[in-house]
Amino acid sequence: MQGILHEWEISYYTQPLLLLVLFIALIISIRKRKKYKILNTFPFYIIFLIMVYITGTASTLSSAIKYHPEFFWGLTEYTDYGFTIFEIVTFSVFFYQLIDNLLLKRIIIVANLVFILFSIYMFITSSRRPKVQYFDWTVPNTPTNAAVLDIRFGCLNIYPETVSLQVQSSFVISPSAN
């Protein structure tokens, strides 16, 4: 329980707010599904999104208590990739039903196929497993006595999301020998 509260605290309690909003949206989408036929898939979408959140939290907690972290990490990866494909299909069907232009409808279909194939490729090639405890890094020739790594993570290394300076592990870069 302390792990969950700590995660919520470092995220400024946006995670429980997200859950609250998702559950409210789920209740509204279930109650209104007969009135708005175009939104029939939204309850499934919201449930899937809640599952992604739960598996992500389970993965974080399992790593903290060292209880089958690889299993929960893999479960989170599978759920996330599955959700991504479900999400693109859900919103594409939604917009496909709203749009009358045949060219735009064809673009939606082609874009979906490309995105789904790309998602499957990313799923197969996947990212670094949690047991890997190293990476190859070429040290630049910039001598200093107080170097730190700035490890960033994001979407395919294209959009860095979070800066994470590793100040607790400073190191020295000596001048090159040549």
Per-residue pLDDT tens digits for 92-118? 888 888 899 999 999 999 999 998 888
| Count of Cβ atoms closer than 10 Å to residue 72 Cβ | 20
**CA distance from start to end of the chain:** 54
pLDDT at 153 over 70: no
Percent of the chain with pLDDT strictly greater than 70: 82
Predicted pLDDT at 73: 81
**pLDDT tens figures, 40-54:** 888 999 999 999 888
Please tell me the distance from the alpha carbon of residue 14 to that of residue 159, in angstroms, as a whole number. 21
Task: Give, in order, the Cα–Cα distances in Å from 97 to each of 47, 48, 92.
Answer: 22, 22, 8
The model's pTM: 0.61
The dihedral over CA atoms of 110, 115, 118, 119, expressed in degrees to the nearest 10, equals: -140
